[in-house]
Amino acid sequence: MSRQPGVRSSMVFLPRERLSALMDHLRSEGYRCLGPVVRDGAIQFASLAQADEFPIGWRDRQEKGSYALQAAGDARMFAFANGPQGLKPWLFAPRETLWRVDGRKAALAFEPAEVEDARLAVIGARSCDLAAMAIQDRHFLGGERPDGAYAARREGLFVVAVNCTHASATCFCASTGDGPATRDGFDIALTELDDGFVAASGSERGARALADLGLASAGDVREAEARARVAAAGAAQTRALPGRDLQAALFANLMHPRWDEVAGRCLSCGNCALVCPTCFCHCEREEVSGDGTSAEHYREWDSCFSEGHASIHGRQVRPDIRSRYRQWLTHKLGSWHDQFGRSGCVGCGRCITWCPVGIDITEEAAAVCGAATP
Ligand code: SF4
Ligand code: SF4
């Protein structure tokens, strides 16, 4: 029988009540555990003290511009698609100091900022999150000068991925080739069944963690059920991009009237870029202390939609929403192919859910590109 990525041979069964033992093992190795919890009406990543903090029995309902939770009353911990965050905020901080300068010393002293708390175990990363992390790895680590803060956090990251068994109405990772099954980038991958998890290791430290728990083989029946549930999550997706490489179609349509139409709806709020797990644009600024004796140099997430990001030498190169939205979409789905050899979209659907006016990247791409080749 063919096997799906992320649902592998030599799999073991982790009873649901033993997930806490895995967390204990990770803590004994020095990791802080992070996982999905219900917070402020959404499922978000937060520090976890115990396994009963997972969103037990919750389902998410995602549509264009809306997100809601519903109680199902069962014991499932990961029966939802995703929340507003991927792994991005934990590796590429929304705002962080890069260096400080102290002017009270005889000579100006520049000090790089320390990266605190680098050992982090994330439990519940999805296949789209891992695909996005692979892109961000290339951006932050691939050049001649790897980003120090990102590299330190990445080095200290332990990933317990969870294969998706539920798709939301905004998911379309099957069409981008990034899900719903995990392929790589994890230490352990879990697939949730009614009574626990089929678990596979993806690294030596992941294999050690599972071996320490002394788990029994998952067996053929559970493995087959795990594969079937993940396959069903992919089959349930109702959205799709019109093709995996839209670069030529997008750049052939830079004057398409759809850009004006979407500009009439877009608020240029930047939510889509903030929730996008692959967007990496940021600005860098200085902040001087009140007494003027020291300063910090920090970076902060920015996006195609801000006035500052479109300003070069005091001149606006993207003065209107039409040009800002077009920049976002043509970069994300077009010129990323030149930079990274693939599109910048992993099909997580977050930009659709969290857009306050429900602009849908799959609809906009189809409207501009027409029937592009898959
Ligand atoms: S563009 Fe939208 S769907 Fe694609 S990865 Fe970013 S947030 Fe997810
Ligand atoms: S597409 Fe939606 S989320 Fe993105 S900037 Fe426009 S209004 Fe905001």
Considering the domain architecture, whether residues 74 and 128 belong to the same structural domain is answered as: yes
Domain boundary among 206, 235, 264: 235
* Ligand 2 atom index nearest CA of 270: 5
In the numeric block, the tokens 């099909």 are attached to 347
What's the confidence (pLDDT) of residue 374? 47
Percent above pLDDT 90 for the chain: 88
Ligand 1 pocket test, pick from 139, 329, 336, 346 with the greatest ligand atom count within 8 Å of Cβ, gives: 346
Please compute the mean of the pLDDT values over residues 334-347 and round it to a whole number.
96
Considering the domain architecture, whether residues 131 and 270 belong to the same structural domain is answered as: no
- What's the pLDDT tens digit per position in 167-203? 999 999 999 999 999 999 999 999 999 999 999 999 9
Q: Give 236's pLDDT tier (boundaries 50, 70, 90).
A: very high
The first and second tokens of residue 262, run together, are 């979407």
- What's the pLDDT tens digit per position in 268-281? 999 999 999 999 99
CA of 77 from ligand 1 middle (Å) equals: 24
Query: Dihedral sign, CA of 48, 51, 53, 55?
Result: positive
N- to C-terminal Cα separation, the chain: 27
Q: Does 290 fall in a domain?
A: no
Closest C-alpha among 300, 303, 318 to residue 270: 303
Q: Does 94 fall in a domain?
A: no
Considering the domain architecture, whether residues 69 and 218 belong to the same structural domain is answered as: yes
Which residues lie below 8 Å from residue 337, measured CB to CB, with a gap of 6+?
245, 247, 343
Domain boundary among 180, 211, 235: 235
Domain boundary among 235, 270, 294: 235
The first and second tokens of residue 271, run together, are 């939510």
- Give the C-alpha separation, 349 to 359, whole Å: 11
Q: Which residue has the higher pLDDT, 298 or 110?
A: 298
Beta strand segments in the chain, E: 12-15, 32-39, 42-47, 58-63, 66-71, 95-102, 109-112, 120-125, 157-162, 188-192, 196-201, 282-288, 294-301, 311-312, 315-316
- Give the C-alpha separation, 193 to 301, whole Å: 38
Which residues' Cβ are closer than 6 Å to ligand 1? 275-278, 332, 345-351, 361
Residue 306 in this model has a pLDDT that exceeds 60: yes
Considering the domain architecture, whether residues 157 and 221 belong to the same structural domain is answered as: yes
- What's the pLDDT tens digit per position in 59-100? 999 999 999 999 999 999 999 999 999 999 999 999 999 999
The first and second tokens of residue 17, run together, are 């009540």
Q: Does 33 fall in a domain?
A: yes
Domain count for the chain, please give it. 2
Please compute the mean of the pLDDT values over residues 291-304 and round it to a whole number.
94
Which residues lie below 8 Å from residue 205, measured CB to CB, with a gap of 6+?
29, 158, 187
Considering the domain architecture, whether residues 216 and 265 belong to the same structural domain is answered as: no
The first and second tokens of residue 203, run together, are 């690294």
Ligand 2 pocket test, pick from 64, 66, 272 with the greatest ligand atom count within 8 Å of Cβ, gives: 272
Q: Give 299's pLDDT tier (boundaries 50, 70, 90).
A: very high
Q: Which residue has the higher pLDDT, 112 or 356?
A: 356
**Ligand 2: does its nearest atom lie under 6 Å from the Cβ of 359?**
yes
How many helices (H) and strands (E) would you count in the chain? 14, 15
What SS3 class is residue 325?
helix
Q: Does 104 fall in a domain?
A: no
**Ligand 2: does its nearest atom lie under 6 Å from the Cβ of 271?**
yes
The first and second tokens of residue 327, run together, are 């920049």
- Give the C-alpha separation, 302 to 306, whole Å: 7
Considering the domain architecture, whether residues 356 and 331 belong to the same structural domain is answered as: yes
- What's the pLDDT tens digit per position in 15-47? 999 999 999 999 999 999 999 999 999 999 999
Are the C-beta atoms of 164 and 349 separated by less than 8 Å? Answer: no
Q: Does 296 fall in a domain?
A: no
Considering the domain architecture, whether residues 80 and 52 belong to the same structural domain is answered as: yes
Considering the domain architecture, whether residues 55 and 159 belong to the same structural domain is answered as: yes
Considering the domain architecture, whether residues 321 and 220 belong to the same structural domain is answered as: no
- What's the pLDDT tens digit per position in 107-126? 888 898 988 767 999 999 99
Q: Does 72 fall in a domain?
A: yes
Ligand 1 pocket test, pick from 172, 350, 354, 363 with the greatest ligand atom count within 8 Å of Cβ, gives: 350
SS (H, E, C) 66-105: EEEEEECCCCCCCCCCCCCCCCHHHHCCCEEEEEEEECCC
Strand bridging mode 109-112 / 12-15: unpaired
Q: Does 110 fall in a domain?
A: no
Considering the domain architecture, whether residues 123 and 34 belong to the same structural domain is answered as: yes
Q: Does 295 fall in a domain?
A: no
Considering the domain architecture, whether residues 223 and 314 belong to the same structural domain is answered as: no
Considering the domain architecture, whether residues 338 and 313 belong to the same structural domain is answered as: yes
* Domain residue limits at 332: 247-281+303-369
Residue 371 in this model has a pLDDT that exceeds 70: no
The first and second tokens of residue 273, run together, are 């870029």
The first and second tokens of residue 334, run together, are 């077009």
pTM of the predicted protein model: 0.94
What's the confidence (pLDDT) of residue 117? 66
